[in-house]
A and B are shown apart, each in its own frame.
Chain A
Amino acid sequence: MGLLDYFRSSQAKNSAGVAKERLQILVAHDRAVRGRPSYLPQLQQEILEVIRKYVDVDLDAVSVNYEQEDEREVLELNIVIPDAPHASHAP
């Protein structure tokens, strides 16, 4: 590599660096999904349906998060309920 190329390549973003960055994000995501039980999406859907019977929440109001730690598994359920209480569908 000549001197001129050296300056040129240090300015332009090098593609191996881009590849590494993309892979790190992708692999971390793949691994997080890998350990998850396969019933999670359905669980999320059914919980949402139950809540929507009583409270008028958005379609993305329920988030299910699953984490595996050394000794235990954590299933985290997060439901966002709107600020102003709407008229309830419940009897």
Chain B
Amino acid sequence: MARIIVITSGKGGVGKTTTSAALAMGLAQRGKRTVVIDFDVGLRNLDLIMGCERRVVYDFINVINQEANLNQALIRDKRCDHLYVLPASQTRDKDALTKEGVGRVLEELAQSYDFIVCDSPAGIEHGATMAMYYADDAIVVTNPEVSSVRDSDRMLGILSSRSRRAENSDEPVREFLLLTRYNAERVEIGEMLSVEDVQEILSLNLLGVIPESKAVLNASNSGIPVILDRESDAGQAYGDVVSRYLGEEVPHRFIHTEKKGFLSRIFRG
């Protein structure tokens, strides 16, 4: 039986799609059969970040409406055999995502995959609530910034009251914090909320910290999930996230600035 993971945040632009692409690729590289679904109907972007935008023929809505079957709509990743992408529709209305339809597709996918990664749209509207409804695990992507933290807290409230698990009084959705666009230098001089600050406010299990990194834009420019850039700080941080998600104990990195010598701290800054 597959585990369903929703990548959510409330606020837009914090790194949900980047995270979805990286996590799905990381899981697949470790031999897990993984499918990543774009729930952002009308504004699909996951295909671009995954670099498969020219191979989209059918989409999630076609499958829900039974205009195509899953095998026709799923796009197999060219870099990793275990990874498939289910793109969102660019033209349909988001109301086409019905609870029954989404449930049926997820159930069918669950037969043949280990992990189903749901890339949620921003906001708390229909698309976002559909993306999180069937989740077993939620990764709440948050920037160390007031509006993002507040929206994450709001999203946590929705998860705990309006997910399938909450409605059926099952074991609650497992929630994880992923802090992205973290700038350790600014944290050090008191210009940015620290990972401890955010954890104190949201009281969530910390899955990882992704440093603000040029590698993320470079990766999206070329349609390569940033986790494949193993030289980069962000790529390595996502690698750690995948390990931690799979239960390995990995120390957190990129939280502190590199230690400088005492003299250079005083004179140079």
Asked if B191 is at the interface of the complex by the 8 Å CB criterion, the answer is: yes
CB distance from B142 to the nearest CB of A (A): 11
| Cross-interface CB contact of B150 among A1, A3, A14, A23, cutoff 8 Å | A23
Residues of A within 8 A of B247 (CB): none
Asked if B92 is at the interface of the complex by the 8 Å CB criterion, the answer is: no
B201 touches A1 (CB 8 A): no
Q: A16-B190, A34-B157 are in contact. Are A2 and B150 (CB under 8 A)?
A: no
Residues 15-43 of chain A, each 1 if its beta carbon lies under 8 Å from chain B, else 0: 11101101110110011001000000000
Residues of B within 8 A of A24 (CB): 201
B269 touches A2 (CB 8 A): yes
B201 touches A23 (CB 8 A): yes
A9 touches B190 (CB 8 A): yes
Band of interface residues on A: 10 to 19
Asked if A73 is at the interface of the complex by the 8 Å CB criterion, the answer is: no
Asked if A5 is at the interface of the complex by the 8 Å CB criterion, the answer is: yes
CB distance from A13 to the nearest CB of B (A): 9
Residues 245-269 of chain B, each 1 if its beta carbon lies under 8 Å from chain A, else 0: 0000000000000000000011111
Minimal Cβ-Cβ distance residue in B for A20: B197
B150 touches A30 (CB 8 A): yes
Minimal Cβ-Cβ distance residue in A for B158: A34
Residues of A within 8 A of B193 (CB): 16, 19-20, 23
Minimal Cβ-Cβ distance residue in A for B202: A27
Residues of A within 8 A of B266 (CB): 2-3
Minimal Cβ-Cβ distance residue in A for B188: A1
Residues of B within 8 A of A30 (CB): 150, 153-154, 157
Asked if B56 is at the interface of the complex by the 8 Å CB criterion, the answer is: no
B192 touches A16 (CB 8 A): yes
Residues 155-195 of chain B, each 1 if its beta carbon lies under 8 Å from chain A, else 0: 00100000000000000000000000000000111111110
B153 touches A14 (CB 8 A): no
Asked if B149 is at the interface of the complex by the 8 Å CB criterion, the answer is: yes
| Cross-interface CB contact of A3 among B194, B200, B267, cutoff 8 Å | B267
| Cross-interface CB contact of A5 among B150, B192, B269, cutoff 8 Å | B269
A16 touches B265 (CB 8 A): no
Asked if B217 is at the interface of the complex by the 8 Å CB criterion, the answer is: no
The 21 sampled A-B contact pairs (Cβ below 8 Å) are A1-B188, A1-B189, A1-B269, A2-B267, A3-B266, A5-B189, A5-B269, A14-B189, A16-B187, A16-B192, A16-B194, A16-B197, A17-B190, A19-B193, A22-B146, A23-B149, A23-B150, A23-B193, A30-B153, A30-B157, A31-B157
A residues with CB within 8 A of B: 1-3, 5, 9, 14-17, 19-20, 22-24, 26-27, 30-31, 34
Can you name 15 extra interface pairs (CB under 8 A) apart from A5-B269, A31-B157? Answer: A1-B265, A1-B269, A9-B190, A15-B191, A16-B191, A16-B192, A16-B194, A16-B197, A17-B190, A20-B200, A27-B149, A27-B202, A30-B154, A31-B153, A34-B157
6 A-B pairs with the lowest CB-CB distances in the bound complex, closest first = A14-B190, A2-B269, A1-B269, A20-B197, A16-B190, A34-B157
